[in-house]
Amino acid sequence: MKLGGHALDSLSPASPLLAALADDVRALRAKNIDVVIVHGGGPQITELLEATGRVTAFHDGLRVTDEVTMEYVAMALGHVNIHLVAALVHAGLTCVGLSGVDNGLLRAEAVGLPWGRIGAAPKVDGELIVNVWRDALTPIVSPVALDHAGELVNCNADVAAGALAGALDAELLVLLSDIDQLRSDPNDEVSALDTVSGDEVRRLLDSGAAREGMRPKMLAALDALEGGARRVLLANGTREHALRDALDNTIPTTEVVR
């Protein structure tokens, strides 16, 4: 699953959202279902960049990342990772913090202009994840990757989660967003979609209806399904117990199918 957006506004051990997430993952682990969580950190990155007087910009929903910005991205995501793990451990989840750099978990090349050190289509070495699962731990992954020269690359968290889901042959990828569902018209709540096919997603991407932050989510969904994942669900991560309720089909979701 991918966790990001306003679901990470509070990284406090007292966060009800994170306590509920820990409960949801514990319940899955009790059923012998392995979980890996990939987190974002867009608000924290923006806050750090603004505090240091740097301008932040986006293109097609992805942060423009020059070499200096990449260092701030790594710092902000490291901050999110350690505090997220702390909150989840406090809530009773046995978990460990990782980054895509660890053991070469994620490898990607920077795409260059206009995005700079943004990585597309990361390659996954899932051995580390499998070994962590064997130790009955849940990996919490920061989406920083390595390029061929050992330099850091900023992978969008949705993209990283999609790549991991495909490489691990996941039964399900859950993308927790700040909205309930994908819409055929992003400005019209009535156009929310319960189910969408891969071909329909491509049409929404081509038409611009899936835009800004929704664009990398839908690309990640396609990558996950093409890579081997069985199902993809989009749900609102700002709801308490969003993971549990998305799986139980008791909250609005969008399922992306092949």
pLDDT, position 11:
95
Select the more confidently predicted residue: 115 or 211. 115
Per-residue pLDDT, averaged over 105-124, amounts to: 92
* Most confident range, picked from 2-16, 26-40, 50-64: 26-40
Residue 188 to residue 180: CA distance in whole angstroms: 13
The position carrying tokens 């051990």 is 13
Residue 125 to residue 164: CA distance in whole angstroms: 9
94, two tokens: 């046995």
CB atoms within 10 A of CB 39: 25
Per-residue pLDDT, averaged over 221-246, amounts to: 93
pTM summary value: 0.93
Q: Which structural domain range is residue 19 located in? A: 2-257
pLDDT, position 106:
98
Residue 59 to residue 195: CA distance in whole angstroms: 27
Per-residue pLDDT, averaged over 240-257, amounts to: 95
**Beta pairing, strands 2-3 & 37-39:** parallel
pLDDT, position 59:
83
Where residue 14 sits, what CATH number does that domain have? 3.40.1160.10
pLDDT per residue as tens digits for the range 19-55: 999 999 999 999 999 999 999 998 899 999 999 998 8
Residue 173 to residue 217: CA distance in whole angstroms: 11
Per-residue pLDDT, averaged over 98-112, amounts to: 95
pLDDT, position 187:
80
pLDDT level of residue 91 (50, 70, 90 thresholds): very high
pLDDT per residue as tens digits for the range 162-208: 999 999 999 999 999 888 898 888 888 888 999 999 889 888 888 87
At 250, phi and psi to the nearest 5?
A: -110, 0
Residue 6 has pLDDT above 90, yes or no: no
pLDDT, position 55:
82
The position carrying tokens 């096919």 is 197
**Beta pairing, strands 254-257 & 231-236:** antiparallel
Residue 93 to residue 86: CA distance in whole angstroms: 10
Our count of domains for the chain comes to: 1
pLDDT, position 68:
92
